[in-house]
C-alpha cells in the first residue's frame, strides 16, 4: 500500500489537468479576473502556511490574517519608504513574519488548544487597530499606496508601482500572474518538503501526543516555535504577494474576517494535506468572486450564511475536507478492485485519514480529525 | 463585517476626555468603564455558563447576542415596550441557542479532544449568524434606544448615566438569579452534576443532552442583555459584538473560565482598564483592546486558571 504515497493514475491525470488550467487560465480571462486569481493564490499560500501550524502541528491560529497583514505592510513600507525593488521585499516580509511568528510562538508553548485559538483571535482583532495606532508608519485607516521613484516624462517622480512585462505578447497582468504562480508553487514545494521530511513527521507526532513525542527524542518546544515561525513566514509571503498585487494596503483588508477565511480554506480543502488549503482557497475565491456577484442582490448578502452553514455541515460530515474525502474515495475504489484483502485493512484506516501518519506508523485515532 | 471607525472605540470614554477638571474626568472615565464592564461581564456570564456545562469556548456567542439583540429591536420597533421586547429577544436567543447546540455542537463530542472542530464549528456559526442577520436586517445600523433612557444623575460632580446604573443593576440581578438557580433548584443541581461528571449524572437519570441544551439556551439569553446594553452606544449593526466578544473573553480569562463571580469581577476590571489605560498611555490611544489583550496573554501564561477559576487537573 506504500504506492499510495506515490502518485496514482487518477492523481497524475488531475495534476496534469491542473497544470494546464493554471497555464491557460490567464490567457482566457479578463485582466480583473487574473488579478482575482492572484488574490486566491495569496490566500492559498497563507492558508498553506497556516495548515503547517494548525493542520500538521495542531496549534490552532485564528490570527494568521494578522501575519498576512504584517507581510503586506512590510512590503508596502519597504517599497514606498525605503525604495526597495519589488521582489526582494517578499523575502524581507517572510523574514519579518518569521520573527513575529517566533515571538507569538513563545507564549503558545504554554497556551494550547482552544486557549491559543482565543489568544490568536484577539491578535486578529487587534491588528487593524495597531495599524491605525501607528499611522505615521502605516498610513492609518487611509492605508498605503505602493509607490516607487520612476522615470516619468523626463523626470523622476514617486509613482504607483506597476508590473511591466519584459516579454512581448504577455500583458502585465499575465506577467504578474506567472511570477506569483511561481512564488506560490515554490511555497507549496517547500511545505511539501517539510511535511515529508523528518521534521514534518515530528510535527504530526507532537500534534497527536506531545508527551510521547518528547519521550521519542523530539525537542517539542523548539519544533513548535520554529513551526510557528515558518508558518508565519509563509503567511507573510502570501501577504507580501497581496500588497504587490493590489498596489496598496489598508487595515480593513486584514480584519478577523481574513483570519477566519484562511482557516476556512484550510479546513474546507483538507487540513493536514499539502494541497488541501490551495483547493480550499480556490473554492472560497470562486465562491466569493465568481458565484456571489452573479447571485440576485438579496442572496448576495447570504454568502456568509451559506459559507457558515457549509462549514458547520462539513465539519460534522466530512471533517477531513475535500482532499481527505477524495482520498477516502480513491481508497475505496482501489480496495474494491483488489477485492478487499485482509492484510491492508490496518494500513487503510490510517492512510485514509492522514497520509503522513501512515508512513510514520504513529499511533493515531483512525476515525477522528486530529487537529 | 469590517469594523467601522465608530466601533473601534468600543466605548464612549474618549468623548469625555478633555472636559472638566482632571479629577472628575478620571471619575467619569471610571464610570464609563464600570458601565462597559457590566456589559462585558454579561457576555462573560454567557461564556461561563457554556464553559461550565460543555467545556467549550463559544466563539459564536457574540454573534448570538448580536442576533438576539436584533430580535429585541424588531419587537421594540413594532411598538412593544422595551422590557417586553427584551424578554422576546431573550426567548428568541434561548431558542436559537438550544437549536445551535442540538444541531451543530452536541455531535462534536468532547471539545477538548477536538479543539479545531470546536473552533471551526463555532466560527461557522459566527459567519452564519452574521450572514443571517445581514440578510434579515440589512447592513444599515439600526438605532436601539437605551433601556434606561438618556438622562443622568450627578453624584459629587460626576455625571452618571442611568443606563450605566441600569446595566450594573441588571447584571447583579442576573448573577443573583443564576446563583439561586444553581444553588437551590433541581435543574441547577442537574446542570452542575452534568458539568462535573456527565457519565455519572446520566446514570443517576439526569438527561445530559437536555441540560447542555438548557445551558446553551441560557447563555444565549444572557448574551441578549449584553447586546441590549451595547447597542445604544455602538449602533446596532452586525459587527455589534465583535470587539465586545474579545473583552468578554478577557473578562472570563481573568476571572477563571468556570467562575460566575470571576466573570463579574473580570468584566469590571477589563471595562475599567480598557477605559482608563488608553487615556494615560498614548500608545494605546486608539486601541482600548490592547490592555485587554495583554491581560489575556499574561493571565493565560502565568495563572491559566484565572483569579477564581478551578485548576485543570491533567491526567496522564
The residue with greater pLDDT, A96 or B315, is A96
Q: What is the pLDDT of residues B19-30, one digit of tens each?
A: 444 556 888 888
Task: Tell me which of B8, B116, B237, B277 to substitute to probe the interface with A (most A C-beta atoms closer than 10 Å).
Answer: B116
Task: Report how far residue A160's alpha carbon sits from residue B310's, in angstroms, rounded to the nearest whole number.
Answer: 57
The domain total for chain A is: 1
pTM of the shown model: 0.83
Is the CB of A126 inside 8 Å of chain B's CB atoms? yes
Confidence of residue B41 (pLDDT cuts 50, 70, 90): very high
A47 close to A237: Cβ distance less than 8 angstroms: no
Q: Is residue A368 part of a domain?
A: no
Q: Which residues of B touch A263 (CB under 8 A)?
A: 119-120, 123
User: In sequence order, which residues have a C-beta less than 8 Å from that of residue A321 and are 6 or more positions away?
Assistant: A266, A267, A268, A269, A270, A271, A273, A276, A280, A314
Of A110, A113, A308, the CB nearest to B124: A308
To the nearest whole Å, the CA of B1 is away from the closest chain A CA by 7
- The answer to whether residue B297 scores a pLDDT higher than 50 is yes
To the nearest whole Å, the CA of B298 is away from the closest chain A CA by 9
For residue A156, report the phi and psi dihedrals to the nearest 5 degrees: -90, 125
- Mean pLDDT of chain B, nearest integer: 84
DSSP annotation string for B132-174:
HHHHHH-SSPB----TT-S-EEEETTEEEEHHHHHHHHHHHHH
Pick the closest to residue B171 from B268, B279, B313 (CA basis): B268
- pLDDT of res. B95: 94
* B157: alpha, beta or left? (left if phi > 0; alpha if psi -120 to 50): left
A168 close to A174: Cβ distance less than 8 angstroms: no
- Reported as half-sphere exposure (CB side, CA atoms, 13 A), residue A358 has a value of 21
Q: What is the pLDDT of residues B185-241, one digit of tens each?
A: 988 888 888 877 778 888 888 888 888 888 889 999 999 999 999 888 888 888 888
Task: Tell me which of A316, A318, A353, A367 to substitute to probe the interface with B (most B C-beta atoms closer than 10 Å).
Answer: A316
Q: Is residue A118 part of a domain?
A: yes
Q: Which residues of B touch A319 (CB under 8 A)?
A: 117
- Reported as half-sphere exposure (CB side, CA atoms, 13 A), residue A149 has a value of 6
- The answer to whether residue B294 scores a pLDDT higher than 50 is yes
Helix (H, G, I), strand (E, B) or coil at B292: helix
Interchain CB distance below 8 Å, A126 and B130: no
Of A125, A126, A312, the CB nearest to B104: A312
- pLDDT of res. B227: 92
Task: Report how far residue B128's alpha carbon sits from residue A309's, in angstroms, rounded to the nearest whole number.
Answer: 6
Q: What is the DSSP letter of A217?
A: T
Helix (H, G, I), strand (E, B) or coil at A362: coil
Pick the closest to residue B116 from A228, A357, A270 (CA basis): A270
Task: Report how far residue A69's alpha carbon sits from residue A72's, in angstroms, rounded to the nearest whole number.
Answer: 5
Q: Is residue A297 part of a domain?
A: yes
To the nearest whole Å, the CA of A92 is away from the closest chain B CA by 26
Q: What is the pLDDT of residues B49-83, one digit of tens each?
A: 888 877 788 889 999 999 999 999 999 999 999 99
Q: Is residue A371 part of a domain?
A: no
Pick the closest to residue B90 from B145, B37, B51, B42 (CA basis): B42
Helix (H) or strand (E) holding A148: strand A147-152
Residue of A nearest to B246 (CA): A122
A215 close to A362: Cβ distance less than 8 angstroms: no
- pLDDT of res. A235: 96
To the nearest whole Å, the CA of B76 is away from the closest chain A CA by 25
B138 close to B130: Cβ distance less than 8 angstroms: no
Kindly state the cell numbers that stand for B134.
445581514
Q: At A311, which CATH number?
A: 1.10.3470
Q: Is residue A370 part of a domain?
A: no
Task: Report how far residue B216's alpha carbon sits from residue A290's, in angstroms, rounded to the nearest whole number.
Answer: 37
To the nearest whole Å, the CA of A115 is away from the closest chain B CA by 8
Residue ranges and CATH numbers for the domains of chain B are: 5-302 (1.10.3470)
Helix axes A64-80, A113-133, angle to 10 degrees: 30
- Reported as half-sphere exposure (CB side, CA atoms, 13 A), residue B105 has a value of 33
Number of neighbours of residue B74 by Cβ within 10 angstroms: 17
In order along its 371 residues, chain A shows pLDDT tens digits of: 444 455 677 778 888 898 888 888 888 888 888 989 999 999 999 999 999 999 899 889 999 999 999 999 999 999 888 888 888 899 999 999 999 999 988 888 888 888 888 889 999 999 998 998 888 888 888 888 888 777 777 777 777 777 777 777 788 888 889 999 999 999 999 999 999 999 899 999 998 888 888 888 889 989 999 999 999 999 999 999 999 998 889 998 998 889 988 998 999 888 888 999 999 999 888 888 888 888 777 677 777 888 888 888 888 888 888 888 888 888 888 777 776 544 444 444 433 344 444 344 444 444 444 44
List, as ranges, residues 90-109 from A with C-beta within 8 Å of B. Answer: 107
Helix (H) or strand (E) holding A124: helix A113-133
A5 close to A355: Cβ distance less than 8 angstroms: yes
User: In sequence order, which residues have a C-beta less than 8 Å from that of residue A210 and are 6 or more positions away?
Assistant: A220
Helix (H) or strand (E) holding B130: helix B115-137
- pLDDT of res. A354: 43
Kindly state the cell numbers that stand for B59.
466563539
User: In sequence order, which residues have a C-beta less than 8 Å from that of residue A103 and are 6 or more positions away?
Assistant: none
Helix axes B82-100, B61-77, angle to 10 degrees: 140
Helix (H, G, I), strand (E, B) or coil at A216: coil
Helix (H, G, I), strand (E, B) or coil at A12: helix
Q: How far apart are the first and last CA of chain A?
A: 25
Is the CB of A263 inside 8 Å of chain B's CB atoms? yes
Q: Which residues of B touch A141 (CB under 8 A)?
A: 5
Total residue length of chain A: 371
Task: Report how far residue B188's alpha carbon sits from residue B211's, in angstroms, rounded to the nearest whole number.
Answer: 9
Q: Which residues of B touch A211 (CB under 8 A)?
A: 316
Tell me the torsion sign for CA atoms B200, B304, A114, A196.
negative
- pLDDT of res. B292: 86
To the nearest whole Å, the CA of B79 is away from the closest chain A CA by 27
Interchain CB distance below 8 Å, A303 and B131: yes
Of B119, B134, B304, the CB nearest to A62: B119
Of B246, B253, B316, the CB nearest to A125: B246
Which residue stretches of B78-105 are H helix?
82-100
- pLDDT of res. B316: 52
Is the CB of A211 inside 8 Å of chain B's CB atoms? yes
Q: What is the pLDDT of residues B234-288, one digit of tens each?
A: 888 888 888 899 999 999 999 988 888 999 999 999 999 998 888 888 788 778 8
- pLDDT of res. B251: 92
| Residues paired with residue B154 on neighbouring β-strands, in sequence order | B159
For residue B156, report the phi and psi dihedrals to the nearest 5 degrees: 55, 40
Q: Is residue A366 part of a domain?
A: no
> Which range of residues forms the domain containing residue A271?
2-360
Q: Is residue A266 part of a domain?
A: yes
Amino acid at each position: 500500500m506504500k504506492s499510495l504515497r506515490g502518485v496514482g493514475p487518477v492523481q497524475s491525470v488531475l495534476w496534469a489537468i491542473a497544470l494546464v488550467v493554471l497555464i491557460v487560465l490567464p490567457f482566457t480571462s479578463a485582466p480583473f479576473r487574473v488579478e482575482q486569481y492572484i488574490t486566491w493564490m495569496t490566500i492559498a499560500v497563507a492558508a498553506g502556511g497556516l495548515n503547517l501550524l494548525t493542520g500538521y502541528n495542531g496549534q490552532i491560529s485564528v490570527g494568521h490574517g494578522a501575519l498576512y497583514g504584517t507581510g503586506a505592510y512590510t512590503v508596502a513600507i519597504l517599497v514606498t519608504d525605503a525604495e526597495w525593488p519589488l521582489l526582494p521585499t517578499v523575502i524581507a516580509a517572510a523574514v519579518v513574519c518569521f520573527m513575529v511568528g517566533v515571538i507569538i510562538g513563545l507564549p503558545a508553548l504554554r497556551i494550547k488548544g482552544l486557549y491559543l485559538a482565543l489568544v490568536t483571535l484577539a491578535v486578529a482583532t487587534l491588528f487593524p487597530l495597531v495599524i491605525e495606532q501607528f499611522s505615521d508608519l502605516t498610513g492609518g485607516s487611509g492605508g498605503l499606496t505602493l509607490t516607487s521613484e520612476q522615470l516619468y516624462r523626463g523626470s523622476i517622480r514617486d509613482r504607483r508601482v506597476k508590473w511591466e512585462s519584459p516579454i512581448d505578447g504577455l500583458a502585465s497582468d499575465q506577467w504578474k500572474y506567472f511570477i506569483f504562480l511561481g512564488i506560490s508553487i515554490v511555497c507549496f514545494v517547500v511545505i511539501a518538503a517539510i511535511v515529508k521530511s523528518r521534521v514534518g513527521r515530528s510535527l504530526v507526532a507532537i500534534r497527536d501526543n506531545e508527551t510521547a513525542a518528547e519521550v521519542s527524542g523530539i525537542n517539542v518546544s523548539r519544533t513548535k516555535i520554529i513551526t510557528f515561525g515558518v508558518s508565519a513566514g509563509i503567511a507573510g509571503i502570501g501577504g507580501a504577494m497581496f500588497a504587490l498585487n493590489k498596489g496598496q494596503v489598508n487595515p480593513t483588508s486584514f480584519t478577523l474576517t481574513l483570519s477566519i477565511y484562511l482557516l476556512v480554506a484550510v479546513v474546507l480543502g483538507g487540513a493536514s494535506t499539502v494541497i488541501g488549503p490551495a483547493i480550499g482557497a480556490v473554492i472560497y475565491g470562486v465562491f466569493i468572486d465568481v458565484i456571489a456577484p452573479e447571485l440576485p442582490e438579496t442572496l448576495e448578502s447570504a454568502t456568509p450564511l451559506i459559507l457558515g452553514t457549509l462549514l458547520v455541515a462539513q465539519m460534522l460530515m466530512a471533517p477531513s475536507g475535500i482532499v481527505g474525502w477524495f482520498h477516502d474515495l480513491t481508497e475505496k475504489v482501489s480496495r474494491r478492485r483488489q477485492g478487499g484483502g485482509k492484510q491492508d485493512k490496518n494500513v487503510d484506516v490510517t492512510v485514509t485519514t492522514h497520509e503522513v501518519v501512515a508512513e510514520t506508523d504513529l499511533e493515531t485515532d483512525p476515525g477522528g480529525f486530529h487537529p | 463585517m469590517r469594523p467601522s471607525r465608530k466601533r473601534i472605540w468600543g466605548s464612549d470614554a474618549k468623548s469625555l476626555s478633555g472636559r472638566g477638571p482632571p479629577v472628575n474626568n478620571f471619575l467619569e472615565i471610571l464610570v464609563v468603564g464600570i458601565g462597559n464592564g457590566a456589559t462585558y461581564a454579561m457576555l462573560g456570564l454567557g461564556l461561563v455558563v457554556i464553559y461550565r456545562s460543555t467545556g467549550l469556548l463559544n466563539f459564536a456567542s457574540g454573534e448570538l447576542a448580536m442576533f438576539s439583540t436584533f430580535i429585541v429591536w424588531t419587537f421594540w420597533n413594532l411598538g412593544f415596550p422595551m422590557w417586553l421586547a427584551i424578554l422576546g429577544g431573550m426567548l428568541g436567543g434561548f431558542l436559537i441557542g438550544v437549536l445551535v447546540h442540538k444541531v451543530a455542537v452536541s455531535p462534536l463530542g468532547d471539545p477538548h479532544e477536538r479543539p479545531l472542530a470546536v473552533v471551526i464549528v463555532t466560527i461557522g456559526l459566527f459567519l452564519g449568524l452574521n450572514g443571517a442577520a445581514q440578510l434579515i436586517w440589512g447592513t444599515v445600523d439600526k438605532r436601539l434606544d437605551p433601556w434606561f433612557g438618556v438622562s443622568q444623575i450627578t453624584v459629587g460632580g460626576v455625571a452618571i448615566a442611568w443606563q450605566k446604573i441600569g446595566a450594573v443593576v441588571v447584571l447583579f440581578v442576573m448573577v443573583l438569579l443564576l446563583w439561586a438557580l444553581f444553588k437551590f433548584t433541581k435543574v441547577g443541581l442537574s446542570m452542575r452534576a452534568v458539568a462535573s461528571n456527565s457519565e455519572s449524572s446520566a446514570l443517576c437519570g439526569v438527561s445530559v443532552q437536555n441540560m447542555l441544551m438548557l445551558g446553551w439556551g441560557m447563555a444565549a439569553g444572557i448574551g441578549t442583555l449584553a447586546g441590549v446594553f451595547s447597542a445604544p452606544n455602538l449602533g446596532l449593526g452586525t459587527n455589534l459584538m465583535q470587539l465586545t466578544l474579545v473583552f468578554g473573553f478577557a473578562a472570563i480569562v481573568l476571572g477563571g473560565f468556570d467562575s460566575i463571580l470571576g466573570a463579574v469581577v473580570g468584566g469590571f476590571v477589563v471595562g475599567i482598564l480598557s477605559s482608563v489605560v488608553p487615556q494615560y498611555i498614548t500608545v494605546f490611544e486608539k486601541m482600548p483592546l490592547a490592555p485587554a489583550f495583554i491581560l489575556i496573554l499574561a493571565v493565560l501564561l502565568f495563572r491559566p486558571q484565572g483569579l477564581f477559576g478551578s485548576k485543570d487537573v491533567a491526567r496522564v
